[in-house]
Chain A
Amino acid sequence: MMAAFIALFRRDLALAARIGGGTGVGLVFFLMLVTLMPFAVGPDMALLARIGPAILWIAALLATLIGLDRLFQADDEDGSLDLLRMSPLPLPLIVLAKGLAHWISTGLPLALAAPFLGLLLALEPKALLAVTGTLLIGTPALTFIGAIGAALTAGMRRGGLILSVLVMPLMIPVLIFGISATSAALGGTIPFMTPFSILLALVLFALVSGTAAASLALQNAEG
């Protein structure tokens, strides 16, 4: 069973690396959102530095949505999903393997790019570190919440937009505690661990409930 899990995980990573798309487009989208901000807000360095972490988080959240629609749709279209469902690997583990591979190819690059994009927003080194850290911890939650929407819209031709509308409200708690953990790390009255532990809890909750809900949605895709 472990061998099957690893095989699926590695296949999805190989496909992501060869087809590209998700990783590259997500990063460019992230870069564009962040570069648009100074144009909209104006060249006020102090203001940008203050709202910078929030901008990075919102941009990362939106960039996560890019490519998420293909998470199950690609396998659904070519018939692979039927065979995966018939394999001995339980469906929740299939979702988990695909979700982890998807996070590594889309969410992780966003978190790693965040410190460089943070420079465009005049963030202090400490703030760069804080926002990168919270994004590293928080983006898996975004991926797995998104997986629910991806599973629900797997059979739809234009599923991408519906997917975004479905999952964005569910991502709000992650956004709130991701940003408040970042600002708590930079000082303030709230101790860092308070919002950060809630963020951790949200990540664990998203891993479990996202996996379970997505596999239920895939199970009942046909009827």
Chain B
Amino acid sequence: MRLVINRLTSIRSGRPVFSELALRVEQGEALTVMGPNGAGKSSLLRIIAGLLPPSSGTVSLEGVEADTPIAEEAHYLGHRDALKPALTPLETLNFWQAMLGRTLIAPMKALERVGLAHAAPFPSAYLSAGQRRRLALARLLVAHRPLWLLDEPTAALDAASEAMFSALVVEHLASGGLAVVATHAPLAFPSRTLTLGAKA
């Protein structure tokens, strides 16, 4: 499996964010996307996820059934954690597991992995910013998706949680997954780096 991006151009409100971008991410490989604010890191991830149409160019995932959109092969972790304060972490994961399909591990197991098992029965409203981020990460574990698109995944995480996050990604890559990670902080696992430059 391989992610191929071909001559991708994104123009947002008349301003070119990046143009003629070409890259490949191989199976088991992580790509780190770096660059200053406004360089187009988030736009790139959203385009790969199919949430934002590119101005031109193509994104394709080779090695999957031809008619499945990339969106259904990818997990997207955006700036927002997509949590409902009124639902408990366990309910949240149960919901996403049913919604996304292709079960990987049980929601309770996923909560143990991210260290939130004790918080499972309480509404997510009581979680701290870092705990919310960990719950959002736990979502990646309950359904199988080969491609992980992570936008600033370590924001609000403490050192221990960052190590936990790195372990999750390394495990995902070892099982044949791909990851594209937009970040400011260097990551603790080996990855190729793409630097997007901010155009004035």
A contact set with B: CB distance below 8 Å? 3-4, 6-8, 11, 14-15, 18-19, 77-80, 82-89, 222-223
Contacts and interface: CB of A to CB of B under 8 A. Distances in A.
A79 B101 contact: no
Q: Which 4 A-B pairs have the closest CB atoms?
A: A79-B80, A7-B98, A86-B71, A79-B82
Given A11-B91, A85-B71, 18 more contacts: A6-B98, A7-B99, A8-B99, A14-B87, A15-B84, A15-B87, A18-B86, A78-B82, A79-B79, A82-B82, A84-B99, A86-B51, A86-B72, A86-B74, A88-B100, A222-B51, A222-B52, A222-B53
Contact of A11 (B74, B82, B83, B87): B87
A86 B98 contact: no
7 contacts: A4-B99, A7-B95, A11-B87, A15-B86, A79-B79, A82-B76, A87-B99
Nearest to A20: B86
Nearest to A8: B99
**A18, A82, A85, A87: which has the most chain B beta carbons within 10 Å?**
A82
A78 B80 contact: yes
A78 B76 contact: no
Interface string B100-114: 110000000000000
A80 B95 CA distance: 12
Contacts of A78: 80-84
A78 B92 CA distance: 13
A6 B80 CA distance: 25
Contact of A83 (B52, B82, B91, B94): B82
B136 to A, nearest CB: 9
Contacts of B16: none
Consensus secondary structure, chain B interface: loop
B78 interface: yes
Given A4-B101, A78-B84, A11 B51 contact: no
B76 to A, nearest CB: 6
Given A79-B78, A82-B76, A86-B74, A19 B86 contact: yes
Nearest to A17: B86
A18 B85 CA distance: 10
Nearest to B51: A82
Contacts of B101: 3-4, 87-88
Nearest to A223: B53
A87 B76 CA distance: 11
Interface in B46-67: 46, 49-53
Contact of B50 (A8, A11, A19, A86): A86
Contacts of A15: 84, 86-87
B96 interface: yes
A11 B94 CA distance: 10
A88 to B, nearest CB: 5
A180 B175 CA distance: 64
B87 A87 contact: no
Nearest to B94: A7
A212 B82 CA distance: 24
Contact of B91 (A14, A19, A85): A14
A4 B102 CA distance: 11
